[in-house]
A and B are shown apart, each in its own frame.
Chain A
């Protein structure tokens, strides 16, 4: 059954590809669906067309006769069907081979492999052995990633529950997505928020439940000149750089010591239980206070004063809550 269907799909494709003019439904039916009832033919033909289209085969519908537009015809233009000529140097082919290892996202990994397969079929020879290059891994674990990305491609509005940082409950939001952008290690959907009437970014990890594509595909346009990366950088919380000078107990704080800007050994510490060292540390992104808190009594913050106060406040608050 499968084999029969493969034959039919491929024969349909070839028939429409080799004809210079539109092919009438009548002719298609006569050759490829000879034993079908009129109803059966319509159904089968519709399904077959859709399956070919979902593979990316561009089936064009047109009028065979300029004066009688009631009879549609079909064709596939060879120049739209085929991958354009692409000639890659050996080193270019190597990086393309590496691209298949980047995605840690099942669908996009498979799509990359398929793309490389097509390039291989076009005559590109892949050799990844010669190349010395960092191999990044790109993951997209957020369950809503696919919805936002597909909606971006289809220009289809999305409805979703979103919980902002520090807020107790999620609210329903509506977005016309322009793109999905990774920034500071996080994925954001960027677009036009139709509830607020303004451009907005949403962190995908804060989307709760399933995001839903609503409304008509192609129902909005991305404003001309939109740079989704720039928009995200403008609207998403900026990655900050924090610096601190801390005293660290000898034998502790390995993660701090490893990339400290400066280390001064054997300094006077807050207690005499162990020897102490003074470290200057820099961190990009928020979370320095969290990291220092994690070291409990092995780390003493000298400066800046606000960081020191935050640490003391949080320790006191923790004590109150567990009391």
Chain B
């Protein structure tokens, strides 16, 4: 058991992967494309490609396959017809015209997985919605559940997203950030740094929003630090779109797939000993290596960029965590613990000598 955990994109089951995926996927696309066109009448190839999220050249290939499909009679009239001249010829107007395919006019019903995924997503939306929107979500849910129930035995999706707010409402923040990136404008952030217990204002040149280790970050050039920085969205207290344009050359946001903290140059590899009560750390932070110990505790190696972060973590976990190596952090930690304990000594109020440094 070592980090990083594989992305859940790698979790697939059944026969979806492999050599047969091509034909099956193509059938799935066609079963959506034909009813899409049937419902809308005249649609241009590019517009259909955009609406269905399929590249236009792939869509054209899919359409050509249709020419060889149709009723089992074997007569030319039995086959589906696609007007290729309208798509490829000199007089092409780009409009897709399909005839003889009325029996495919309706899309395939939702698979159990699809029904589950969309119903649970809507229930999660419902939790985050205000009263008037909640009523809209309820109506949509009722119709979808009815559609999913018809012709299939089970509608219970087996997943309950719960009733607590799923994650902080950062929709507005995300829109502001995306807006700033698209318009290449600067942002003024109020940002909270828990490891230093401080809130700071800074001006940044935003590059993009990225996700890693379950958190979402704004990647930006920070003018206070004069370096690229990642800002966790749940710690951005406010983001103000400024009139000023970004000053640094535009750059794509970093790809964080290889590990957010491992790429920093100024990190120190530290080894921690975690008692069972503190083992959750392994699940929450990217760690390099985990070595289970016979007594149920673990030794874990992790890269620490900011020792203040580590000190705060050790305090939170007290007394279930200690640093095995290097020796420095343990001295700092011991001093902090003694300092905190001094507050609680009998008669301690006001009796300690003032700190000469302040």
Chain A residues at the B interface, C-beta cutoff of 8 Å? 2-3, 5-7, 9-11, 13-15, 17-18, 31-32, 47, 50-52, 54-58, 78-84, 86-89, 91-96, 98-100, 102-109, 111-123, 131-141, 143, 145-146, 149-150, 152-153, 165-169, 177-185, 205, 208-209, 228-229, 232, 252-255, 268-274, 290-291, 293-298, 300, 308, 311-312, 314-323
Which single residue of chain B is at the shortest CB-CB distance from A253? B197
Contact A2 B110 (CB under 8 A): no
Chain B residues at the A interface, C-beta cutoff of 8 Å? 1, 5-9, 11-16, 20, 22-24, 26-28, 30-33, 35-36, 39-40, 51-53, 61, 65-66, 68-72, 74, 103-104, 106-118, 120-122, 124-125, 127-130, 133, 136-137, 139-140, 143-144, 146-147, 150-151, 154, 156, 158-167, 169-171, 174, 192, 194, 197-199, 211, 214, 216, 276-277, 280, 283, 295-297, 311-319, 322, 330, 333-334, 336-344, 348-352, 354-355, 358
Contacts of A146 in B (CB 8 A): 8, 11, 13
* A177 vs B158: C-alpha distance when bound (angstroms): 9
Contact B72 A10 (CB under 8 A): no
**B113, chain A: closest CB distance, angstroms:** 5
Contact A112 B167 (CB under 8 A): no
Contact A84 B171 (CB under 8 A): no
Which single residue of chain A is at the shortest CB-CB distance from B341? A315
* A34 vs B225: C-alpha distance when bound (angstroms): 72
* A47 vs B110: C-alpha distance when bound (angstroms): 22
**B48, chain A: closest CB distance, angstroms:** 10
Contact A7 B108 (CB under 8 A): no
> Which secondary structure characterizes the binding site on chain A?
helix
Contact A122 B109 (CB under 8 A): no
Contact A95 B133 (CB under 8 A): yes
Contact B354 A121 (CB under 8 A): no
The 8 closest A-B pairs by CB, nearest first: A168-B296, A82-B106, A123-B39, A317-B319, A182-B162, A111-B117, A134-B128, A136-B166
Contacts of A205 in B (CB 8 A): 280, 283
**B326, chain A: closest CB distance, angstroms:** 14
Contacts of A185 in B (CB 8 A): 164
Contacts of A180 in B (CB 8 A): 158-160
Contact among A51, A55, A134, A308 for B31, CB-based, below 8 A? A55
Additional A-B contacts beyond A55-B27, A96-B122, A312-B344 (17; CB < 8 A): A17-B103, A31-B72, A31-B74, A80-B151, A94-B136, A95-B140, A108-B113, A112-B117, A135-B125, A136-B124, A136-B127, A138-B161, A179-B158, A182-B160, A273-B358, A293-B315, A296-B315
* A97 vs B28: C-alpha distance when bound (angstroms): 20
Pull 14 A–B residue pairs with CB atoms less than 8 Å apart, ordered by A: A7-B68, A7-B69, A14-B104, A83-B106, A111-B113, A111-B116, A114-B111, A121-B107, A271-B342, A293-B316, A296-B336, A296-B337, A312-B344, A318-B314
Contact A120 B110 (CB under 8 A): no
Which single residue of chain A is at the shortest CB-CB distance from B355? A273
User: Max chain B CB contacts within 10 Å: which of A6, A181, A184, A295?
Assistant: A6
* A104 vs B281: C-alpha distance when bound (angstroms): 22
Contact among B20, B129, B334 for A51, CB-based, below 8 A? B20
* A133 vs B136: C-alpha distance when bound (angstroms): 11
* A321 vs B334: C-alpha distance when bound (angstroms): 10
Contacts of B151 in A (CB 8 A): 58, 79-80, 84
Contact B319 A120 (CB under 8 A): no
Contact A120 B52 (CB under 8 A): yes
* A79 vs B169: C-alpha distance when bound (angstroms): 41
Contact A107 B11 (CB under 8 A): yes
Contact among A103, A181, A269 for B162, CB-based, below 8 A? A181
Which single residue of chain B is at the shortest CB-CB distance from A314? B318
Contacts of B124 in A (CB 8 A): 102, 136, 138
Contacts of A311 in B (CB 8 A): 344
* A13 vs B336: C-alpha distance when bound (angstroms): 72
**B141, chain A: closest CB distance, angstroms:** 9
* A231 vs B314: C-alpha distance when bound (angstroms): 35
Contacts of A209 in B (CB 8 A): 1
**B292, chain A: closest CB distance, angstroms:** 9
* A121 vs B24: C-alpha distance when bound (angstroms): 18
User: Max chain B CB contacts within 10 Å: which of A31, A79, A122?
Assistant: A122
Contact among B27, B125, B162, B333 for A102, CB-based, below 8 A? B125
Contacts of B150 in A (CB 8 A): 84
**B10, chain A: closest CB distance, angstroms:** 8
Which single residue of chain B is at the shortest CB-CB distance from A77? B151
Contact B103 A107 (CB under 8 A): no
Contacts of A102 in B (CB 8 A): 121, 124-125
* A95 vs B333: C-alpha distance when bound (angstroms): 50
Contacts of B130 in A (CB 8 A): 133
Contact B128 A135 (CB under 8 A): yes
* Given known A166-B276, A316-B341, A320-B319, contact A6–B106 (CB-CB < 8 A): no
* A109 vs B117: C-alpha distance when bound (angstroms): 7
**B151, chain A: closest CB distance, angstroms:** 5
